[in-house]
Amino acid sequence: DVKVTQSSRYLVKRTGEKVFLECVQDMDHENMFWYRQDPGLGLRLIYFSYDVKMKEKGDIPEGYSVSREKKERFSLILESASTNQTSMYLCASGWTANTEAFFGQGTRLTVV
């Protein structure tokens, strides 16, 4: 079974803090993705990576950065957390032209 593991299920951070969300996959996938999910807005792509040290902006990259130093790990960084970044964050890996993406369990981040 493919496993995508996010480091935290729930996180509470203060405004202005630097926040790291970690994601690890165990299937040697080249592609990894970070989405955020908000009610009524579905899933929106923040960043994705198709190889180690490679990254591409998604639809809503502002306020975020990413790091992919190893193939299995893709980190999402909130440089200075703000309350409008309170959301559910979902990591995914896989997804080539013929297969689906596999999702982690999600991190519910609250910024106070």
Partner 1 sequence: ELKVEQNPLFLSMQEGKNYTIYCNYSTTSDRLYWYRQDPGKSLESLFVLLSNGAVKQEGRLMASLDTKARLSTLHITAAVHDLSATYFCAVDFGNEKLTFGTGTRLTIIP
Return residues touching partner 1 (CB under 8 A): 33, 35, 40-45, 48, 50, 56, 58-59, 90, 92, 95, 97-106
> 14 or 42: whose CB is closer to partner 1?
42
Q: How far is the CB of 16 from partner 1 (least distance, A)?
A: 28
Q: How far is the CB of 85 from partner 1 (least distance, A)?
A: 19
> 28 or 40: whose CB is closer to partner 1?
40
> 5 or 15: whose CB is closer to partner 1?
5
Tokens representing residue 86 in the block: 């309170």
Instruction: Report DSSP state, residue 92.
Output: E
β-strand pairing of 19-25 with 73-78: antiparallel
Q: How far is the CB of 90 from partner 1 (least distance, A)?
A: 6
> 9 or 18: whose CB is closer to partner 1?
9
Q: What is the dihedral of CA 91, 93, 105, 15, to 10 degrees?
A: -10
CA distance 54 to 7: 21
Q: How far is the CB of 80 from partner 1 (least distance, A)?
A: 26
